Amino acid sequence: MKLVSSREAVQFLSQVGPPPWVKRLLRWMAFDEDLPAYSACGKVQAVCSALDLVRGRINDYNQLSASELAMVIRQEFDDDMAERLIESKLCGTFKDDPVEWGRESDPIRLDPGFFLYANRIDWEVGVMKSSFRISSSADREFYFPKHEYFLASKFEMPRFDVVAEGLSFDFESIEMLLPSMRFVDNPSIAAQSPMPSARTGRPRKWDWEGAMAFLISQAQLPDGLPTGPGAQARIEEMIRDWFLMESDKTPATSQIRDRAAMIMRELERPKKP
């Protein structure tokens, strides 16, 4: 499996779109699981406040005196935890044992929940940070289907603080977002390696990169790109309309059909489990 770093992915796709747009595209494609995303190392830390711990185990705790509450806490918790809760006066914070993955093993594929709840992604460095609570087992299974064990905790309703480093994407999936460009080892010259053309020595007449960027933007809308019977014809029409809007001219029908067919093959390709 070949991966490309988040920095390289942004740099490559920014050849045809502004970086903020590219970053949003990558995030939501990863959330939709249309774009495999990976992390080389990271940590999930379950955190719970003392007040939450007591609230989940003791009824009417706020109506008890300090001495009564201390007595009930000692009955409900083991000695070490009870003393920590009493000393904190229910203002402390407790951490469960973290769940970690490291660089000594293969990168893990990130579940969509990490991107849904991400509150900061440093694309240049490749670090994503998330902080969230999961309210139901259904949400846990839906948003973290591959690594549900990351959210295991002895606390009943903890907050999960996540740091995922070495953020990267599947190389072929990134390259297919711009099928008319080849991702070379140095992304800064990626735009200068177009697909071979029958006509050499002359400037390229048609802005295929712009057309593909337009289709990518349409794919992120709620309705996405057309699927099912007649989908290729509709995509051909979308490409033709874009060229007419941009330059009042369109490429040959055969050229448009070739690109649309390539896009359809990718849309219909079975997803790997």
Give the up-direction half-sphere exposure of residue 34: CA atoms within 13 A in the CB hemisphere: 17
Looking at residue 103, its pLDDT comes to: 65
- 261 and 201 housed in the same domain: yes
Please state the domain count of the chain.
2
DSSP for 77-89, please give it.
Answer: S-HHHHHHHHHHT
Same domain, 126 and 136: yes
Q: Per mean pLDDT, which of 54-63, 142-151, 160-169, 213-222 is the most reliable?
A: 160-169
Check: CB of residue 250 under 8 Å from CB of residue 256: yes
What are the Cα distances from residue 3, in Å, to 6, 125, 206?
Answer: 9, 15, 30
Kindly state the tokens that stand for 218: 């349409």
Q: Let me know if residue 66 belongs to a domain.
A: yes
- Residues 24-33 have a mean pLDDT of 89
Residues 159 and 97 placed together within one structural domain of the fold: yes
Residues 144, 85 share a domain: yes
Q: Most confidently modeled of 80-89, 112-121, 185-194?
A: 112-121
| Statement to judge: residues 146 and 244 lie in one domain | no
Tell me which residue range forms the domain holding 250: 196-268
Say if residue 118's pLDDT is above 60. Answer: yes
141 within a domain of the structure (yes/no): yes
| 135-184 pLDDT tens trace | 777 888 888 887 777 888 877 778 899 999 999 999 988 988 888 777 76
The confidence band for 127, taking pLDDT boundaries of 50, 70 and 90, is: very high
**Domain stops at, among 174, 195, 216:** 195
Residue 149 has a pLDDT of: 76
Could you tell me if 213 and 155 lie in one domain?
A: no
Task: Give the domain-ending residue among 156, 177, 195.
Answer: 195
Q: Are residue 71 and residue 116 in the same domain, yes or no? A: yes
List CB contacts of 81: < 8 A, sequence separation 6 or more.
53, 94
Distance of CA 92 to the CA centre of its chain: 33
Residues 121 and 213 placed together within one structural domain of the fold: no
CA dihedral 254, 258, 259, 261 (to 10 degrees): 130
CB 16 within 8 A of CB 209: yes
Tell me the C-alpha distance between 229 and 34, whole Å.
Answer: 21
Rounded to an integer, the average pLDDT of 175-204 is 55
Residue 273 lies in a domain: no
Q: Tell whether 63 is covered by a domain.
A: yes
Q: Specify the 3-state DSSP secondary structure of 160.
A: strand
Contact (Cβ atoms closer than 8 angstroms) between residue 76 and residue 86: no
The reply to whether 109 and 45 lie within a common domain is: yes
Residue (of 142, 136, 166, 156) closest to 46 by Cα position? 156
Do residues 226 and 234 make contact, with C-beta atoms less than 8 angstroms apart?
yes
Higher pLDDT, 6 or 90: 6
**Where among 166, 195, 224 does a domain terminate?**
195
- pLDDT surpasses 50 at 233: yes
Nearest by Cα to 176 from 114, 235, 264, 99: 264
> Is the domain of 235 the same as that of 140?
no
Do you know the residue count of the chain?
A: 273
Which residues neighbour 211 within 8 Å (Cβ) at sequence distance 6 or greater? 239, 242, 243, 259
Cβ-contact 213, 181 below 8 angstroms: no
- Please give the sequence-ordered ranges of beta strands (E in DSSP) within 54-122, or none if there are none: 93-95, 99-101, 108-109, 118-122
Is residue 31 located within the same domain as residue 64? yes
Instruction: Answer yes or no: is 102 within a domain.
Output: yes
Same-domain status, 157 and 92: yes
pLDDT of amino acid 194: 41
**C-alpha–C-alpha distance, residues 12 and 174, integer Å:** 9
Which residues, other chains included, contact 70 with Cβ-Cβ below 8 Å and sequence gap of 6+?
A: 86
